[in-house]
Chain A
Amino acid sequence: MTGIDWLILGLYFAFVLGIGVALKGSMKTSADFFLAGRAIPAWVAGLAFMSANLGAQEVIGMGASGAKYGIATSHFYWIGAIPAMVFVGIFMMPFYYGSRARSVPEYLRLRFDEKTRGLNAISFAIMTIFSSGISMYAIAKLIQTLHVFDGVFQRLGLNSSWIFDFAILISAIVVLVYTFLGGLSSAIYNEVLQFFLIVAGFLPLTYLGLKNVGGWSGLKATLGPSYTHSWAGLSHANTNRLGVEWFGLVMGLGFVLSFGYWCTDFLVIQRAMAAKSMSAARRTPLIGAFPKMLFPFLVILPGLIAIALPTQPAVPPHARVVVGAEVPGKGIIPMKVDPSSGKPMLDNDGKPQLDYDLAVPSMLLHYFPPGMLGLGLTALLASFMSGMAGNVTAFNTVWTYDIYQSYIRPGATDAHYLSMGRAATVFGIAFSIAAAYMANRFNNIMDMLQLVFAFVNAPLFATFLLGMFWKRTTGHAAFTGLLAGTAAAAIHHGLTLPAGAVVGIKGGWLAVTHIYPSEMAQNFWTAIYAWSTCFVVTIVVSLVTRAPDESKLVGLVYSLTPKPEEEPMAWYARPASLALMVIAGTVLLNIIFW
């Protein structure tokens, strides 16, 4: 990085911190801090809804999947996000927002009971800490691999082995300062800033890349149909790059996983709960869905271009990249190198593995001269920070309202909970840093934790769906259903294995009864089993337990809640119109990239 790049990065830091400082004065009550005073305009909440999910792992990971699987990766957006975002906006937001619950676990307490809330709150709090730790680890590792700070460290006479620690510390401190000062408002406003920076940093990359490879038709000619079709070949798992058949994809990803995330995860729902009115809350996910629909072009296409470019050890002199200089990979994606031996890593067939995670960073270094490179790297950091701030604000809210206020110290003053929220921001980030170092040292533990999180998350949507749309669902049933669904996920994982994998963390630890064509197929089917088990168990237990008191469910269940009244507004701004536009756009994109 040269001076101009540092200038751009510094400017970005000054603005995100400045927003925190500007908002400091308006944090008077806990509702200001945790709910942004429920005063956020719909378009701001909508962009934040989308950006909170757009962590660095998303940007890096989607580029990596683009290089690995091709344009079919867009299923993670067009099937795996848009329908769920429309559903939560149109059908679920009236209950989340209308119930005046301050968090998703609190909705569960209002609708069901204390134990269901406790289960959700505690598992969610632990998950957010670890996932922000894992993404912190990922970004620090990336900065280390790209050698962006090496020049400065050498000039200052510092040991370059401290780059990892420096990267973790600097990003954690910046996020800490602005969320500590301005709470959720600060996180949301910064997410909007970060959203535009990510677009500003990545759009020229896609443009230059596409121009270089001769546009979409050039990409098609170089890579062939398996990379450039999203649906063709999905009739059977062996005829597409994902290794999944259409049913597993639509049900596993499109229904269970996607609805489970977008409709129940407090990290995103919190952004809509902060909106200034019911109609703004309903429009939040719908407005977020528009950029979401187009993001594959920004984050997936660079991955495809990276693999399509002629293989070359292109190392621009200012970039100081060492990786990939000696060992050619494919396109401009280098081979995976074992950090301890320095030798390329081989897969089961003895072929060298590609380090797909470097697809997008390699593209930045390949095309961007100083100046734009600074903007591109700032965009990468911005995506990381928006994802991390999402985790931090969701954590401090769930901790303070659903754990501390409920189980540790109920009945304290509002000022006390406000200062607890600030304290939770500090120790939440401290725990995340600890998790990041844990990920660095014990990679396997992190893989295992992520697996457990997947088991816990998979059944969630069945509980919410029944809770919101079937008034007979009881608290005991919701609780048992969630546990049964998680158990089903674990058992399914223990009984199956993806092709070519070894028994252990990848599955089969009980007995191998079925081999899936790919890990992705196994994941999708684990989710399908978990969801179905939770759904059936919840219904059965509901029928044998005492029906809940209907008068207490008004505003929480569909059939007992009056329809939300539409504010007078232009036809195109109404939630239903926005939903139809998003769906039409998504269908069109699917047809174009069939």
Chain B
Amino acid sequence: MGIDIRLPLGILFLLLGLILVVYGAASDPSLYRQSLGINVNFDWGIVLLIFGTLMFALSRRGARAQVRTENDQQSPRSSGH
């Protein structure tokens, strides 16, 4: 019904990842003393970016597949391809 949740999910995580990566790259390293010296913002931001890209790509692929099925339904003769 209505929406493919992977699209907003992908966009949200792309934005979240972007915010964390940029902030992580720009912020003062002393900030990360409490996280065991690991720049969690930057590192985890990259992971979120990858996840967001994956979800976004899946939703695009799903949308294309949907268009194809709809076309097939409209012209049953061309359903061979």
| Chain A positions near chain B (C-beta within 8 angstroms) | 4, 7-8, 11-12, 15, 18-19, 22-23, 25-26, 32, 36-37, 39-40, 44, 182, 185, 189, 192-193, 196, 200, 204, 208, 211-212, 316, 366-372, 375
Tell me which residues across on chain B come within 8 A of A32, comparing CB atoms: 1
Cα of A8 to Cα of B23 in the assembled complex, Å:
12
Query: Is B74 located at the chain interface by the 8 A CB criterion?
Result: no
Tell me which residues across on chain B come within 8 A of A372, comparing CB atoms: 20, 35, 40-41, 44
State whether A366 touches B5 (Cβ < 8 A): no
CB of A319 to closest CB in B, whole Å: 9
Cα of A36 to Cα of B24 in the assembled complex, Å:
40
Cα of A8 to Cα of B15 in the assembled complex, Å:
9
Tell me which residues across on chain A come within 8 A of B34, comparing CB atoms: 316, 366-369
Q: Which of B16, B32, B38, B51 has the most CB of A within 10 A?
A: B16
Tell me which residues across on chain B come within 8 A of A371, comparing CB atoms: 19-20, 23-24, 27, 40-41
- Which chain B residues (1-49) contact chain A, with CB distance < 8 Å? 1-3, 5, 8-9, 11-13, 15-16, 19-20, 23-24, 27, 31-32, 34-36, 38, 40-41, 44, 48
State whether B5 touches A189 (Cβ < 8 A): yes
Tell me which residues across on chain B come within 8 A of A37, comparing CB atoms: 1
Tell me which residues across on chain A come within 8 A of B8, comparing CB atoms: 15, 18-19, 22, 189, 193
State whether B12 touches A11 (Cβ < 8 A): yes
Cα of A37 to Cα of B23 in the assembled complex, Å:
42
| Chain B positions near chain A (C-beta within 8 angstroms) | 1-3, 5, 8-9, 11-13, 15-16, 19-20, 23-24, 27, 31-32, 34-36, 38, 40-41, 44, 48, 51
Partner of A369, one of B5, B11, B16, B35: B35
Closest to A369 in B: B31
State whether A369 touches B41 (Cβ < 8 A): yes
Tell me which residues across on chain B come within 8 A of A40, comparing CB atoms: 1
CB of A202 to closest CB in B, whole Å: 11
Partner of A200, one of B15, B32, B35, B48: B48
Closest to A314 in B: B34
- With contact pairs A368-B40, A372-B41 given, residues A4 and B19 touching in the complex (Cβ less than 8 Å): yes
Could you write out 8 A-B pairs with CB less than 8 Å apart?
Answer: A11-B19, A15-B12, A185-B2, A200-B51, A369-B31, A371-B20, A371-B27, A372-B40
Tell me which residues across on chain A come within 8 A of B32, comparing CB atoms: 369
State whether A23 touches B2 (Cβ < 8 A): yes
CB of B56 to closest CB in A, whole Å: 13
State whether A22 touches B3 (Cβ < 8 A): yes
State whether A39 touches B1 (Cβ < 8 A): yes
- With contact pairs A316-B34, A370-B31 given, residues A193 and B12 touching in the complex (Cβ less than 8 Å): yes
Closest to B32 in A: A369
Cα of A192 to Cα of B23 in the assembled complex, Å:
26
Cα of A26 to Cα of B34 in the assembled complex, Å:
47
- With contact pairs A316-B34, A369-B34 given, residues A36 and B1 touching in the complex (Cβ less than 8 Å): yes
CB of A178 to closest CB in B, whole Å: 12
State whether B19 touches A22 (Cβ < 8 A): no
Closest to A209 in B: B36
CB of A313 to closest CB in B, whole Å: 14
Cα of A182 to Cα of B12 in the assembled complex, Å:
19
Tell me which residues across on chain B come within 8 A of A366, comparing CB atoms: 34
CB of B2 to closest CB in A, whole Å: 4
- With contact pairs A7-B19, A371-B27 given, residues A22 and B35 touching in the complex (Cβ less than 8 Å): no
State whether A22 touches B2 (Cβ < 8 A): yes
State whether A211 touches B36 (Cβ < 8 A): yes
Cα of A7 to Cα of B18 in the assembled complex, Å:
12
CB of B10 to closest CB in A, whole Å: 10
Cα of A546 to Cα of B35 in the assembled complex, Å:
68
CB of A215 to closest CB in B, whole Å: 13
State whether B13 touches A368 (Cβ < 8 A): no
Cα of A32 to Cα of B2 in the assembled complex, Å:
10
CB of B52 to closest CB in A, whole Å: 10
State whether A196 touches B41 (Cβ < 8 A): no
Tell me which residues across on chain B come within 8 A of A4, comparing CB atoms: 19, 23
State whether B40 touches A369 (Cβ < 8 A): yes
Partner of B13, one of A7, A23, A182, A196: A196
- With contact pairs A7-B19, A369-B35 given, residues A192 and B5 touching in the complex (Cβ less than 8 Å): yes
Tell me which residues across on chain A come within 8 A of B44, comparing CB atoms: 200, 204, 372, 375
Tell me which residues across on chain B come within 8 A of A7, comparing CB atoms: 19
